[in-house]
Amino acid sequence: MNAPRRPTSVLAIVLLGVFALSVLGLLSCGEETPSEPELSLIYYDGHVHTSRSDGTGSVADIKETALARGLSAVIITDHCEDMTVEEWESLVAEAAAASDASFLVLPAFENTGWESATAPPMRDHFLAYNAPSLYVKDEVCISRQYPSAPNTSGTGPTNPEFLTKWVEWIHSQGGIAVHAHPAGSTQLVYGADLIEIWNQSNVSDVAKAAVAMGYSESEARELGVMFNNIAIYGERDLAVPVPFKADGAEELPLREVIHRLTAEIAPLYVGQWLGSPEAPLQSWDDLLLAYVSGAASRPMFAVAGTDAHNAGGPDSAVGSAKTGVYVKGLSADELYGAIMAGRSFVSTGPSLGFDVNGGLMGDTVDIATGGSVKLRLSVKAETAGFTVAEVRVIRDGQVWQTIEANKGAYDVTLEDETVTEDGYYRVEVTSKDDSGNSQFAWSNPVFVRIN
């Protein structure tokens, strides 16, 4: 009974298939397959305070200043210990109201320790991005449930395991843990996601103290930068002799000068020694090499923050340091995703584009044994009166190439034919004006993996 119908069924199926293919063909001719959105560069300031904690001004004040300085987002990081539940909820609401299609205000908070008592550096502070809950319980912050006690020897937190608990709690909220103003004290055991390699407040505080001790404005700025750069270079510069303007001394090692300067910032405190033989300061490259070697499970990408406590007006620090990030669109999810992917660079002025064999900042590029890599970088001074003075390419913690650019913008492709093992590249940029003032940028790394 069914035999006569078989050919009809087969024919129907064939005809249906032909029709479907024809329709699909027409559709494909009429519509192109959607492509991935192109990446665009935006800037944000990831460490800002309002009057809810120890800052001045409102979210609206910060937004006004940030917009005037070319930012597309700010992350408000008031101190957890200083806020009530109502204040936190008001920050969340105010941030949402200030956000729109062209600008983001994201609520976050800072967990605060007492590692340095009353003097900088405060190396046991962690920013919590994208964490919805402020308190562990009963308006108690994680940094008060596991307090980081003062350590007047300046060798790091008394209870480093407590900082690990802070990070674990931030992660339990789905948040991102940023080690703020670390001054070379970041430990892998903390489990931090990001490291703040530029903190404008640190630079400004040290420079102000240096001027009070008799340094010129330019010398003071340089000392502020050298102090900040401990977060990037660890022990590298601490034995370098620098001029000293007090007690009849002509020169002292930077380590001791920083000790005296921090005593000047907080006169009631004896000063902050940076590191010791028992606790040497780590560089950012040490942390990256730990990932390459397998000692760390994920790379430590870098961000910047002003730590601004003055929200508005020409003297506001907001936006004077920033993170440039390449995003597909402006949303909290996209911004945080790009930050965690390392698709970004730290800057006090210059812009930076960098890829290795097409792999973007934060990516890992696979290459064959004995293969070569091409590095493409594009830098621009951005600030009027500044030119790109120097570009340094760092390979596995060492300077691989130094380029004297001396122009407003610079593009170059470099080839490395000597890659024999896993590693990474990153870029450092210095721009200068005619008065000798400097601005900087640091790319996040591109990793290479040998197949």
Burial of 206 (0-12, 13-18, 19+ CB in 10 A): buried
> H-helix or E-strand containing 157?
none
Residue pair 308/180 in contact by the 8 Å Cβ criterion: no
What average pLDDT does the segment 186-213 reach? 93
In percent, how much of the chain has pLDDT > 70? Answer: 86
Cβ density class 314-349: b for 16+ within 10 Å, e for less: eebbbbbbbbbbbbeebebebbbebbbbbbbbbbbb
* Sequence-distant (≥ 6) Cβ neighbours of residue 225 within 8 angstroms: 203, 438, 440
Mean per-residue pLDDT, 396-414: 96
Mean pLDDT in residue range 105-121:
78
Span 46-98, pLDDT tens digits:
999 999 999 988 999 999 999 999 999 999 999 999 999 999 999 999 999 99
- Encode pLDDT of 431-440 as tens digits: 999 998 999 9
Round to whole Å and give the CA distance between 410 and 389: 10
* Domains in the chain with CATH codes: 36-348 (3.20.20.140), 351-450 (2.60.40.10)
Q: What is the pLDDT of residue 418?
A: 87
The two structure tokens encoding residue 396: 């596995």
The average confidence (pLDDT) of the chain is: 87
pLDDT at residue 4 is higher than 60: no
Q: Is the pLDDT of residue 13 over 90?
A: no
Pairing of strands 104-111, 409-416: unpaired
Q: What's the whole-number mean pLDDT along residues 235-248?
A: 85
Q: How far is CA 155 from CA 118, 121, 276, 345, in A?
A: 15, 11, 6, 29
